[in-house]
Structure 1
Amino acid sequence: MENGVINIEFWRLISAYLFIVILLWLTKRRGINREKRIIIATIRMSVQLMLVGYILMFIFDHPSPWIVFLIIFLMESFAVYNIYKQLDTPLTKKLKFVIAFSMIAGSIACLFYFNLVVIHFKPWYEPRYFIPIAGMFIGNSMTGITLGMKQMVENFSKQKHIIEGALMLGAKPEKATKDIVNSSFDSAILPTINNMIGMGIVFLPGMMTGQILAGASPLVAIEYQIAILIGIAGSVGISSFLALQFGYKTFFNDRVQFLPNEKNEK
């Protein structure tokens, strides 16, 4: 036991992989071809987390604002790249810029407000707080934008004739796409809302559980978790709103023509 936390011995950690073996057996029994993906995912997760653990040990022992900024930059870059990849459709330069701007602006603004005003730790770049909180904000914002943009792009393609019909009747792009954009925004924030609804009754969140296991008072852990969830909701909401609000406009050219499946770089 170290600092009130029970250390997991190496052989006990290895024994946890029995759950992966069971999962592989279940997928094989059902005839689902996912064995290779599960194995690769398990190996990547294990290696990546081990590397991150050693990197964080070094960063925590040598705190520096420049290192923190570098890590945030890498997080944001990966998040933007992952959104592009998950959308799995050709994106215009304008839409790529909107996604990148919304992802970075929304998550960073909420992150700094949360750290400087809500938590208010010193120094402001303390990596033990800054990096984990940034990971939660950026990760959830990435998921929100991905879900929202994915639904908007798909519905634009499916409902092209409806949008064009509305434009022919004199509706402006904002009015013609309002229902789709609103539905997409709802999809973006729904997972976060569901987490908030089920929190504390259906499940205990990872951060709260970790703090309790580390010996923190359950009430202190709850305070942190409430603040984090509210901050995440704000980050997801603002990032997704910006992405959808500016994103839908990139599907129209200067002549207010709707081009859901064509590149409009002009």
Structure 2
Amino acid sequence: MKEKMVDPELWRLISAYLFILMLLFIVKWRGIKREKTILIATARMSIQLILVGYLLTLIFKHPIPFVTLLIVLLMETFAIFNIYKQAGGFLSKKLKISIAVSMLSGSLLSLFFFNMVVIHFQPWYEPRYFIPIAGMIIGNSMTGITLGVKNLLEGMKKQKQYVEGALMLGAKPEEASRSIVNSAFDSAILPTLNNMLGMGIVFLPGMMTGQILAGASPLVAIEYQLVVLLGITGSTALCVILFIQLGTKQFFNEKAQLVLKNGE
């Protein structure tokens, strides 16, 4: 028999903010200047989640293909601009295009394959499934590309002499930057692999926990979590490798010379 999900009372929900007060006390005690950031993050999180909750309730009641796709496109847009922001430093126009193309093509291809082949829910635009799954795939792909961008930029700067030396000895740009590219890719997918290694023993993932709390069978929750994590892993890997392939070219000019200002 399916159990009813526990709906916490308002005062119990508010009591959870005691953990934020505890965090504020700790940073104040240790002299860490993070009080403002913590307060802003907490306020933004609360307001954004409440607004999203009301918005999703409306969308779930009136599913429309255009609205579902529009929300996914907005999620992609915010993810791309967040990558630009988190990457830090100067990003050339060509490198930004590489990031956008990689993020859009990799995550959307993975998302539609996952929804239409693996889960295969009907109708295909059902927002109750489409939007949460899109959020997980896009969010993790965003993290992967962000790490890839940071490590590629850092690697090119720190190993400038090595790359230029290899180019002078006749190596092609792909060969001269191979170790940097491989390191950037490895760093980008490492968080996802760590999650896979610890999942089920060290921690229970959010989707699985949510379904169990909602009364679903643990076995059914595990099935969904497995396929979602596999989809996330595939999307992250695809987005990162696309960016690595496109982005690396922006560090070299037509004469196969290293250009640290990202090809501009």
State the TM-score, normalizing by the size of structure 2: 0.98
User: After superposition, what is the alpha-carbon deviation per residue over 1:197-246, rounded to whole angstroms, capped at 9, x for unaligned?
Assistant: 00000000010000001110100000000000000000000000000111
Aligned match of 1:264: 263
- How many angstroms does 1:264 deviate by? 2.9
User: After superposition, what is the alpha-carbon deviation per residue over 1:45-85, rounded to whole angstroms, capped at 9, x for unaligned?
Assistant: 00000000000000000101100111011000000000001
Kindly provide the amino acid, as one letter, of the partner of residue 78 in structure 1: F
Aligned match of 1:142: 142
Kindly provide the amino acid, as one letter, of the partner of residue 263 in structure 2: N
CA gap of 1:243–1:78, structure 2 versus 1, over 3 A, is: same
Aligned match of 1:108: 108
- How many angstroms does 1:3 deviate by? 7.0
- How many angstroms does 1:263 deviate by? 5.2
Aligned match of 2:214: 214
Aligned match of 1:62: 62
Aligned match of 2:97: 97
Kindly provide the amino acid, as one letter, of the partner of residue 255 in structure 1: K
User: Unaligned regions of 5+ residues in structure 2, if any?
Assistant: none
Contact 2:95 2:262 in 1 (8 A): no
1:234, 1:49 → 2: CA distance? 27
Aligned match of 2:170: 170
Aligned match of 2:247: 247
1:91, 1:26 → 2: CA distance? 37
1:263, 1:141 → 2: CA distance? 22
Task: Provide the alpha-carbon RMSD of the alignment.
Answer: 1.1
Kindly provide the amino acid, as one letter, of the partner of residue 58 in structure 2: F
Aligned match of 1:224: 224
1:172, 1:79 → 2: CA distance? 33
Query: Percent of pairs identical after alignment?
Result: 65
1:77, 1:170 → 2: CA distance? 40
User: After superposition, what is the alpha-carbon deviation per residue over 1:86-137, rounded to whole angstroms, capped at 9, x for unaligned?
Assistant: 1111111111111000000000000000000000000000000000000000
Aligned match of 2:74: 74
1:110, 1:239 → 2: CA distance? 9
Aligned match of 2:37: 37
1:143, 1:73 → 2: CA distance? 17
Aligned match of 2:118: 118
